Amino acid sequence: MRLFIVLLAVGLVACPGSRRGEGMNLITPPSRELPSQRIKTVATQQIQVQLTEYEIRLPDTLPAGHQTLHIANAGKLNHNFAIEGNGVSQKLASDLTRGDSTELGIDLKPGTYVVYCPVDKHRGRGMERTITVHQ
């Protein structure tokens, strides 16, 4: 932002100096491209998680930051979703029944996390994954 203001100020100052204003047309376009390229990095993502017997489907790697997990029970039994690691320990307040879905907001820091289903013995039957959060 500061760079943008400086370039804009230079463009305004340079304009009266050049008699026909042609110099300003050369300077202005680059100063507009810089800020718009930076805005692209700000994005809200929703990560899809599917729970079935006996598997948790979600990406192996997730980006750091505040993420929203959309968690759906795509199986027949009741399932839940827990995530632990890097000081995080969260799970859904209530189990998801068949066909049910919910959202879980979570702040992720870079590192390794374990996600699993805490219902009955589902974790030992395959509902456990290790995921990596990258910068």
Segment near Cu ion (CB under 5 A), from 14-22, 39-47, 78-86, 91-99?
78-86
Q: Edge to edge, what strands does the sheet with 55-57 contain?
A: 55-57, 46-52, 65-73, 101-108
Q: Are 71 and 110 within 8 A, CB to CB?
A: no
**119 forms part of the interface with Cu ion (CB under 5 A):** yes
**72 forms part of the interface with Cu ion (CB under 5 A):** no
CB of 119 to Cu ion, least distance (A): 4
In this complex, which beta carbon is closest to Cu ion, that of residue 99 or of residue 110? 99
CB of 69 to Cu ion, least distance (A): 15
CB of 132 to Cu ion, least distance (A): 22
- Residue 132's CB: how many other CB atoms inside 10 A? 13
**What three-state secondary structure class fits 31?**
helix
In this complex, which beta carbon is closest to Cu ion, that of residue 58 or of residue 127? 127
Rounded Cα–Cα distance for residues 74 and 103 (Å): 15
Contacts of 13 (CB under 8 A, 6+ apart): none
CB of 121 to Cu ion, least distance (A): 9
Distance of CA 106 to the CA centre of its chain: 10
**129 forms part of the interface with Cu ion (CB under 5 A):** no
Give the number of residues in contact with Cu ion, rule: CB under 5 A: 5
CB of 99 to Cu ion, least distance (A): 14
**What three-state secondary structure class fits 2?**
helix
The residues that touch Cu ion, with contacts defined as CB under 5 A, are: 79, 117, 119, 122, 127
